[in-house]
Amino acid sequence: MEYVQLFGLTISLLIAVALATYGWLYRSRNGAPAIVILSVLFFLWHLTTFFEGLSTQIETMRFWRDMQQISVFLTPFFLFRFALDFSENRLRWPLTALIIIPLTGILLIFTNPVHGLVREGYFLIEDAPFVQLRVDLTPLGALSLIASTAFLLVAVVMLLDYHRHVSLKVKKQIRLFVGAITLNVLLTIANLTLLRGLGYNVLTSTLYTPSAVILFYGFFRYDFFVVSPLSKEKLLTTLKDQILVLDESNRLVEFNEAAAEHFCDHHAVALEVGMPVWRFFPQPPCVPLGNNPHRNAYQEVAHPHGDEIRYFRIRYHSLQGNRRFQGTLIVIEDVTIDTQYEIQLKHRADRDPLTSLLNRTTFQQHYEQLERHNRSLVLLDIDDFKAINDAHGHAVGDRTLILFAAAMQEAAGGNAILGRLGGEEFGIAYQDIPSEEAKARAETLNRLIRERDFEGVNVTVSIGLAHDPDGSKPFDRIRAEADKALYQAKDAGKDTVCSDLDHPQ
């Protein structure tokens, strides 16, 4: 065996030992068992090749060549099994049954002296740089070898498919794995065609040395077994939260599928050009990190999405490395359902359940929040409402209240706050309109109610109005004044409007 071949075998053996040790240390991790088995097969392949090269008798060389076939047939299968584990294919255990294909090939090899189905003969090549054994295969032998080698191509296809769904870092690692397998296939084809045609006889096992070096680099460069890339990808894929990673310049370098689905139509383009994160929002969210001593921040935003508004809770986390700021992790939680539920709860707490107008407490709060000048309060009371209930029943009474609230909303005018203060009593608050206009609106409402069809029920309303020109009156006082005016309207025969500034009409 010449020195170049011996050197290649030695390097491959060392790599096989390193990979086997590395895989064994992390044997509980995803894909590690297949790598351990591959490394053992790789080691045995080179070891049996080494012993074949030291042999001088054809029978001894035949024995070691047959032992090599265990690795020749099983290595492609376990590369296929590694691809299944790496991508966590749900059919990986059922597909393990395909091991029957390489096992059948191995069985045919070792029983060939009995039936001669896969090998036609053995010949020594004397004119090579060193004595080599040549094996002539039958069509069935070539077919069984091709069938076993096909596992390599399937593994490449599976890894390329998985490549479409992972982050940039894992994409680089997969490219190394695919490159290693593809390189081995190409070198094998080149050895069987071009190199042998030129008179060069290269040991098949040494063709795996470049691929082994690439695999070795791929595992150690990206800490394959230390942090499972599959677990990371599954986490990012299954999380409903949107995950975005920015560099120190606040430019996007990575985001998960949830973020892509909501914020972006071109995932790959966004990563390629480092799209600024604020392009995802109608208004730029604050990115308050960097040298900020408060390394984490929190924000809530409303984001238009089609015809609806979606609500998000955004958390910013500083990414520190080597004692310096290196980027920002943004976790965006869609809280639309929770927020809408809270809005509904608040609506129910603030509103009268029958008319959907503000209830008494909330109406007072809204009134007190008005600017303290030129405020007006209008109180309305449906005339003889008890008689309506007694004559038509409570269902008709409730329907009358609903229709009355709708009429109020139509006639109240702008800058109006409307509420149901209790029973058949309602309130309207105005700001920044003169008392004369407030009274005019009240009279318009009074006339509208009188003329409106309440589904066969005759409805009129008495209205009392109080005005607070300088905002000095607390709610209880102005309500008392409006209430006094309301009673004046009742005493005046109902179906009328009275103000604290004039006498009953």
Closest to 465 in 3D by CA, of 406, 389, 383, 379: 379
Give the three-state DSSP class for 378.
Answer: strand
The whole-number average pLDDT for the span 472-490 is 92
CA–CA distance, 198 with 112 (Å, rounded to integer): 31
Residues 6+ apart with CB under 8 A from 341: none
* Per-residue pLDDT tens digits for 125-159: 665 555 677 788 899 988 988 888 889 889 888 88
One-letter amino acid at 102 equals P
Full-model pTM: 0.47
The tokens describing 283, both together, are 């208004």
Three-state helix/strand/coil letters over 138-153: CHHHHHHHHHHHHHHH
The whole-number average pLDDT for the span 24-43 is 77
The whole-number average pLDDT for the span 163-175 is 74
Give the three-state DSSP class for 288.
Answer: coil
Sheet of strand 375-382, all strands in order from the earlier edge strand to the far edge: 416-422, 425-431, 375-382, 461-468, 497-499
Q: Is residue 331 scored above 70 in pLDDT?
A: yes
CA–CA distance, 273 with 183 (Å, rounded to integer): 31
pLDDT, residue 504, reads 41
pLDDT, residue 232, reads 56
- Taking 3-state DSSP, the helix, strand and coil percentages for the chain, each rounded to the nearest 5, stand at 55, 20, 25
455 Rama sector, left if φ>0, alpha if ψ -120 to 50, beta otherwise:
left
pLDDT, residue 383, reads 94
Q: Is residue 233 scored above 60 in pLDDT?
A: no
pLDDT, residue 177, reads 84
Residues 6+ apart with CB under 8 A from 268: none
Domains of the chain with bracketed CATH: 3-229 (1.20.1070), 239-339 (3.30.450.20), 351-499 (3.30.70.270)
CA–CA distance, 341 with 311 (Å, rounded to integer): 12
Q: Is residue 415 scored above 90 in pLDDT?
A: no
pLDDT, residue 469, reads 87
